[in-house]
Each structure stands twice: as structure tokens, then as C-alpha cells.
Amino acid sequence: MRAWPRPAASVSSLASIPACLSGGLHTPSSDLKCGPILSQCRFFAINILKGYKNRREFVYPVADKNTLVVLLEHVPGVGRKGQIVSVRRGFGRHVLVPEGKAVWATWETIDEFADRDLVDDATAIGISQDGVRESLPFEWINHIRLVFQEPTHDSEPSLLLEAIDAFSIVRRLSEEHELDVLPADVSFPRSQLSGAVSLSLSSPPSSSSRSASSSSSSSSLPAQAEGLEEEEGHARGRGASLSSSSSSSSSSEAAARRRNIATTGVHQVSLRIPLKDRVDAPLSFLITVDVRSAQAERRAEERRRMMEAELRKRPSFDLSQGQVREILDEEEEEEEGEEGEEKEEGGRDEEKD
């Protein structure tokens, strides 16, 4: 095969090519120094918003030119220590992070380095810069409504046979709303405690017994006072272990007795959710617990079914589309018959004339 002669390159064209790219050719500009191509600095700016086209949609490599960092020290013109600021990506990558002045804002770094006192008040309460209130992450818990249908006493329809405790509420939250909390995080207001509800089945006392009881109670007040003083003296002489054990047992029993709902109606139950960064001050929410009588609901359902059955038995005066069409066709036929009779009578009159 014949080899074509290689054209000689001009000096002016070779002078503009670095030595590393000219294939080892010696040029008059021998003072040019060039390293590997990968170590050279680019002479153009990369546009991070310039992405690529995937079929019919355009894909951006970066959604925004700015990024969030947490400042580790005071930087003039940027922010103070512990503040979360938005900076250019290049400024954070080449200046702030390498020099140890900031770290990238992640959940771990925010919990570790961010200062809550520097958070904007509007952002903390969930208000955007436009003044519109935004929903907080756990605000949906306040809108939870739990409905219980429990059996009640026949003599007292508002009193439940079995009180609703914290375990029932926790179980219902986990099944219906996928919210897992502990029974210790559920608390009931004082007005909804089972200890405040009492059911008296005995007959009311007479007026004479009331007066006798009042007189006896008034006469026994000094004796009760003396007895209380003696008991206090004995209690001071007892050991601290006995008093502490009795107080703890009584408090635990009272807490167990209070931690339930024993009456029907709508109740507000307080729910505490401890977070990782707020262990000492957990978030508090109010959920609605609607307690209904199972007997009352059953009677209402039976009443509704009876009313529906009565309505079905009543005669219906509603006409279907087919019946309406039949009536209209009969009216049209009657009109046509009347018109035909009138024409026949008119023809007879003309023949007579």
C-alpha cells in the first residue's frame, strides 16, 4: 500500500499548540509548560442549571444554585455561629466547609450545631415569608377523633360498664392512624376522670337523719382533731421507708384509678410526643375521644330500619320514565282521535250542503 506523504505543518500553527498536545514536536515556543490534561484548570464556567434532555423532558442536575449550611463560627456578611444560612454551592464547597467555618445542613448537623435562638420566629411557628400560616409537621394530630361504642349501665345510660383506659386509646391510635405512643404519654383532664363519677343506688336520707348526722359530725369535730394530732405524732415516729412505700402505693393506685374515661360524651385527651432534640420539653397535643353508648346506637339503628320499612310500605306516587311515556302516548292518541272526528263531521256538513 502506498503511503501518502505527511504535510509539513507551518511554524505559526505549531506555535499555538502546547508541547503536551503536539505529539512531542519541538516548536519555537519551547518555553510553554503543560502538565497532564486532567490537572489543567478549565477555562469555562460550568452552568449547574444546564442539564440534559431525556426523551421529552429536561432533567436538571441541580435544582437550585444555593444550598443550606450551618455556621460553626461568626462569618461577616454571612451569619452568626449556629445559624442556618443559604449560600452559593461553590462558596460553601471551596471556602466555608474546607476552612471549617460551616458544615452542610443535614438532620444530624442541625441537631448538633444549630442554635434554636437564631431561628426566625415566623419560621418557628409555621408562617411563611408571605404571611400565610403553614401547617406544622405534627399539626394533624390535633385533628384526630376517636369514636368508641361501649356498653353502659341500664340504670345510668351515661356510665360505662368498663372504663376506657390509656391502653385502649394507644391501641386505637396505632391501628387507625399508625401513631405509636406509650400509655404514659396519654393523660386525661380532671373533669373526665372516673374517680369524679359516682353512682348511688341507695335511697336518699330523710331530713331527721340529716339533722342527726350534722349534729353528730359537729360534736365529733374536737375528738377528730385530737385523734388527728395523735396520729400525726405516731406518723413522725415511724420510719421513712414505711411512709415512702405507702405514699408511692397510694399515688400509683390513684394514678391507675384516674387514667381512664368512665362516662359517655366528647372528651379531650392530652397526648405527649417526646422528640429526639426535645426530650425535656415534649410536644403536647389534644385529641378528641367520642364515647357513645352501644345500647343507644343499637336503638337508633333499629329505629332507622323501622322507619325505612314504613316508608317502603307507603304507596309511591312517583312515575317512572316508561309510565310517563305511556301517559303521553295515550294523550296524543286521544288528541288525534278528536281531530279525526272533527274532520269527519266537517266533511258530512259539506256533503249535506
- Give, for all 353 residues of the chain, the pLDDT tens digit: 455 555 554 444 444 445 444 444 444 444 445 555 545 555 555 565 566 677 777 766 666 778 899 999 998 888 889 888 889 988 999 999 999 999 999 888 888 888 877 765 444 444 444 444 455 677 888 889 999 999 999 888 889 999 999 999 999 999 998 888 889 889 886 654 443 333 333 334 444 444 444 444 444 444 444 554 454 454 444 444 444 444 454 454 444 445 688 899 999 898 888 776 665 667 788 899 999 999 888 888 899 888 888 888 877 666 566 666 777 788 888 888 787 777 777 777 777 76
Q: State residue 173's pLDDT score.
A: 92
In a domain, 244, yes or no: no
**Is 107 in the same domain as 141?**
no
Which pLDDT value is given to residue 347?
72
161 shares a domain with 266: yes
Cβ distance 272 to 187 under 8 Å? yes
Measured distance CA(201)–CA(131) in Å, rounded? 59
Sign for the CA dihedral angle at 104, 107, 111, 112 comes to negative
CA 65, 71, 73, 75 torsion-angle sign? positive
Specify the CATH number for the domain of residue 100: 3.40.5.10
Do 176 and 269 lie in one domain? The reply is yes
What CATH code is carried by the domain that includes residue 182?
A: 3.10.430.100
E-assigned strands of 10-128?
A: 52-54, 57-59, 66-71, 84-88, 102-104
Quote the DSSP letter at residue 96: I
93 occurs within a structural domain: yes
How many separate domains does the chain show? 2
**Which pLDDT does position 103 carry in this prediction?**
94
C-alpha cell, 177:
392512624
Order across the sheet with 283-293: list the strands.
145-150, 283-293, 265-273, 186-187
pLDDT in tens, 288-339: 999 999 988 888 889 988 888 888 887 766 656 666 677 778 888 888 878 7
For residue 62, being part of any structural domain is answered with: yes
**121-151, pLDDT tens digit by residue?**
444 444 444 444 455 677 888 889 999 999 9
Q: How many residues does the chain have?
A: 353
- Looking at residue 48, its pLDDT comes to 56
DSSP-derived pairing of the beta strands 145-150 and 283-293: parallel
Among residues 287, 262, 284, 267, the alpha carbon closest in space to that of 275 is found at: 284
Closest CA to 199 of 160, 166, 244: 160
What pLDDT does residue 40 have?
A: 53
- pLDDT value for 91: 92
68 and 112 share one domain? yes
Which residue matches cell numbers 500553527? 13
CB 290 within 8 A of CB 148: yes
Buried residues in 269-280 as b, exposed as e (16+ CB within 10 A)? bebeeeeeeeee
Range of the domain at 303: 136-194+255-315
Q: Are 266 and 189 in contact (CB under 8 A)?
A: no
| 260 and 190 co-located in one domain | yes
Same domain, 77 and 119: yes
Cα separation, 67 vs 104, whole angstroms: 8
Tell me if 339 is assigned to some domain. no
Residue tagged 451569619 (cell numbers): 79
